[in-house]
């Protein structure tokens, strides 16, 4: 019998052992026969991650001394991974038993593909789609939109489609591609690093795909919260950082003009009217970070 390639499933825990246990429970039931599961605890200050290892002794538990962020934590897991393929998956995800086979087979059969994500549906309503691919990043707003977002899943995206970017909740990449392109850049810490990585993969000549024959269920924003100042800071800081790292000069100029004359006045006014003064403070802090860190950061972390 032919041995299936080893898949290293890598996830990060941060103060959410109960949520991570739910993921591990579903991973234990999958039908794909050859995986290793690596959990990186990102220096959780209010958690006891040893419960993960005690209840699931088959996993590899890595306890970081510091919070390395999304990219840094995943990179730490990748460096100890033995697999032919890496699946980076959020801990706030649950998976059906047969979700992994279509992803592995697609990457094996299509060497031009560098990265792949499954279709993503909401855990709270599995009939609704969150992601079935991404449209291109706007050169004005530095935002992209999810294909199929909040559509009822009627099988309309149950196929392989080339897309602009993977989704950070679940993204698979081969060891070969990682060795060629590098890992995620860690300067982002949280948000936009997966889009930056996908852009680097595309510049290296590979394509990005979403395989709709596979899906996962996503609980969404468990660690950061849906409307937290932390999220406001990193999304706005890193949106500009992404443009600085990946846009051509003319497109960067367009995004800066839109930022100065549309986004900044609008967001400032909204935060004031809604009396979200903590959000206002971190929003301006995010803007000034890009001014004080004006030198381009071009590092691509090696495996």
Q: Model confidence over 118-157: pLDDT tens digits? A: 999 999 999 999 999 999 999 999 999 999 999 999 999 9
pLDDT at 220: 74
| Residue 2 domain flag | no
Question: Residues 6 or more apart from 119 whose CB is under 8 A from it?
Answer: 129, 131, 132, 148, 153, 157, 158, 210, 211, 212, 214, 215, 216
Last residue of a domain, one of 218, 246, 264: 218
Output the CA–CA distances (angstroms, integers) from residue 261 to 170, 247, 268, in the order listed.
Answer: 35, 19, 12
pLDDT at 1: 56
Structurally, the chain folds into a number of domains equal to 2
208 lies in the same domain as 75 = yes
- Of the candidates 64, 162, 63, the one whose C-alpha atom is nearest the C-alpha of residue 115 is 162
State mean pLDDT over 103-123. Answer: 97
Residue 150 CB-half CA count within 13 A: 1
pLDDT at 83: 98
| Residue 63 domain flag | yes
Which residue has better confidence, 206 or 3? 206
The 10 Å Cβ neighbour count of residue 200 is 19
201 lies in the same domain as 158 = yes
Which residue has better confidence, 296 or 152? 152
Q: For 165-195, write each residue's pLDDT tens digit.
A: 999 999 999 999 999 999 999 999 999 999 9
205 lies in the same domain as 233 = no
pLDDT at 224: 55
pLDDT at 221: 59
| 302 pLDDT above the threshold of 90 | no
175 lies in the same domain as 247 = no
Q: Percentage of residues in the chain with pLDDT exceeding 90?
A: 92
7 confidence band (pLDDT: 50, 70, 90): very high
| Residue 200 domain flag | yes
233 lies in the same domain as 207 = no
79 lies in the same domain as 27 = yes
| 76 pLDDT above the threshold of 80 | yes
The 10 Å Cβ neighbour count of residue 123 is 17
107 lies in the same domain as 134 = yes
Give the distance, in angstroms, between the CA of residue 294 and the centroid of all CA atoms in the same chain: 25
| Residue 301 domain flag | no
Last residue of a domain, one of 218, 249, 269: 218
pLDDT at 227: 81
| 295 pLDDT above the threshold of 80 | no
| Residue 266 domain flag | yes
206 lies in the same domain as 243 = no
Kind of pairing, strands 170-174 and 85-89?
antiparallel
47 lies in the same domain as 182 = yes
pLDDT at 44: 95
Task: Give the pair of three-digit tokens for residue 90.
Answer: 């959020």
| 200 pLDDT above the threshold of 90 | yes
- Write down the mean pLDDT value for the chain: 94
pLDDT at 296: 59
**CATH number of residue 185's parent domain:** 3.90.550.10
**E strands in the chain:** 7-13, 35-41, 60-63, 85-89, 93-94, 113-122, 129-131, 160-163, 170-174, 207-218
209 lies in the same domain as 255 = no
90 lies in the same domain as 237 = no
| Residue 298 domain flag | no
Q: For 245-257, write each residue's pLDDT tens digit.
A: 999 999 999 999 9
Last residue of a domain, one of 171, 191, 218: 218
| Residue 171 domain flag | yes
Residue length, the chain? 303
| Residue 211 domain flag | yes
Burial zone of 224 (CB within 10 Å; 0-12 exposed, 13-18 middle, 19+ buried): middle
Which residue has better confidence, 45 or 1? 45
Residue 244: domain span = 229-292
Q: Percentage of residues in the chain with pLDDT exceeding 70?
A: 95
185 lies in the same domain as 258 = no
Q: For 219-272, write each residue's pLDDT tens digit.
A: 975 555 568 999 999 999 999 999 999 999 999 999 999 999 999 999 999 999
């Amino acid at each position: 019998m032919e041995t299936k390639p080893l898949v290293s499933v890598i996830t990060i825990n941060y103060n959410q052992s109960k949520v991570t246990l739910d993921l591990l429970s579903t991973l234990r039931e999958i039908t794909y026969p050859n995986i290793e599961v690596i959990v990186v605890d990102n220096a959780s200050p209010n958690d006891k991650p040893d419960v993960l290892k005690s209840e699931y002794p088959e996993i590899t538990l890595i306890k970081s001394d510091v919070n390395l962020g999304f990219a840094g934590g995943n990179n730490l897991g990748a460096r100890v991974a033995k697999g032919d393929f890496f699946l980076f998956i959020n801990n706030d995800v649950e998976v059906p038993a047969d979700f992994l086979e279509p992803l592995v087979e697609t990457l094996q059969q299509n060497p031009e593909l560098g990265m792949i994500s499954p279709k993503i549906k909401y855990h709270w309503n599995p009939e609704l789609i969150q992601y079935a691919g991404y449209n291109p990043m706007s050169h004005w707003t530095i935002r992209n939109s999810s294909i199929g977002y909040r559509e009822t899943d009627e099988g309309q995206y149950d196929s392989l489609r080339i897309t602009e970017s993977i989704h950070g909740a679940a993204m698979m990449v081969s060891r070969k591609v990682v060795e060629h392109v590098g890992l995620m850049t860690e300067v982002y810490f949280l948000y936009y690093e997966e889009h930056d990585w996908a852009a680097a993969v595309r510049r290296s000549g590979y394509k990005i795909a979403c395989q709709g024959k596979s899906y996962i269920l996503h609980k969404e924003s468990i660690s950061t919260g849906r409307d937290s100042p932390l999220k406001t800071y990193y999304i706005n800081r890193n949106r500009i950082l992404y443009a600085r790292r990946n846009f051509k000069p003319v497109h960067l100029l367009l995004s800066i003009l839109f930022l100065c004359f549309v986004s900044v006045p609008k967001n400032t006014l909204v935060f004031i009217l809604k009396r979200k003064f903590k959000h206002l403070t971190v929003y301006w802090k995010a803007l000034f970070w890009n001014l004080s860190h004006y030198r381009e950061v071009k590092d691509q972390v090696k495996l």
